[in-house]
Amino acid sequence: MYNEVVDVLSLDDVTKRFGDFVAVDHLSFSIGDGQVVGFLGANGAGKTTTLRMILDILRPTSGAIEVFGGPPGRDKASDIGFLPEERGLYRGMTVLETVIYFGRLKGQSRAQARNAALPLLDRFGLAPFLSRAVERLSKGMAQKVQLAAALVNSPKLLLLDEPFSGLDPVNQSVLEQEILSAAHRGANVLFSTHVMEHAERLCTRLVMLARGRKVFDGDQEQAQAMLPGRVRLRAKTDPSGLPGVTRAERLPSTGDGWTDWEILLSPGAEAGDLLQICTEKGFALRDFEAHSATLHDVFLHLAGEQPETRRP
């Protein structure tokens, strides 16, 4: 049994170098309390390298990692589930035998692994394919087998590296539900992605990397608060001088005397306050629509690059 008061996962000032290249640069964060943490960053930001250090596949150049209160190692395997970015299944093995095999690797008996595998595969729609070889499966089906292998031991820490890559929208939705279900059962989930929409739907917390360094650690509300809000309104008068407006960009006119404006609010200003000011001042409006910053906007602001631009 692990001490319940310690973090499930903790990284303290971790750096990983490959020769002169710094893949992970003084990274610190911890996970506990049943969180779903999005590990966000462009390809090549250091996410996969970090996950491999957590699994003890790689060793840090400096800094310390603790998993369940101790150093990473093979003795933690029974409580960890891992879905690698490079899918690793034995092509000639059947669906059921694959999941049983991974359960055995994590310390389960064959009977335990089989009893855990069957309902998982049924839930993923793979029950009719238990005896089919992995090499005869579609990419999406094979990925669900790999996910079942990651979940077969009911892990306390679930690590997912770009889990949505290559999945169609239906299977992406299945995977999202499984992540939420795992968290509901008490698992702590850390999943890496460069697709911000998945993080927006799933995460209770975000850790953002750029070029190996942590640039943000917090929840979505905190992330969105880092950027000023935007408002699109339709008015007859220039709104630039209204309190709380940093910039007003005039959009093409509708030709009926009304003009659309894109408003950038001042830091700390709220769209609702601007609407109230317009009402109090008799500032005529025909349309008023507030827009919060997206995680994509925040990432561009913090990292200075598109999430998809860096090479792995």
DSSP output for 163-181: TTTT--HHHHHHHHHHHHH
Establish if 115 belongs to a structural domain: yes
Same domain, 257 and 146: no
Kindly give the parts of the chain with pLDDT less than 50.
1-4, 306-312
User: How confident is the model at residue 2, as a pLDDT?
Assistant: 46
User: How confident is the model at residue 254, as a pLDDT?
Assistant: 66
Q: Is the pTM of this model over 0.85?
A: no
User: How confident is the model at residue 114, as a pLDDT?
Assistant: 97
User: How confident is the model at residue 1, as a pLDDT?
Assistant: 45
User: How confident is the model at residue 299, as a pLDDT?
Assistant: 84
Number of structural domains the chain divides into: 2
User: How confident is the model at residue 311, as a pLDDT?
Assistant: 35
Residues 6+ apart with CB under 8 A from 168: 140
**Which residues form the domain of 262?**
230-292
Select from 224, 247, 264 the last residue of a domain: 224
Same domain, 43 and 119: yes
Same domain, 220 and 235: no
Which CATH number is 185's domain given?
3.40.50.300
Alpha carbon separation from 55 to 84, 163, 271 (Å, rounded): 11, 17, 45
- E-state strands within 205-269: 205-210, 213-218, 230-235, 245-250, 259-265
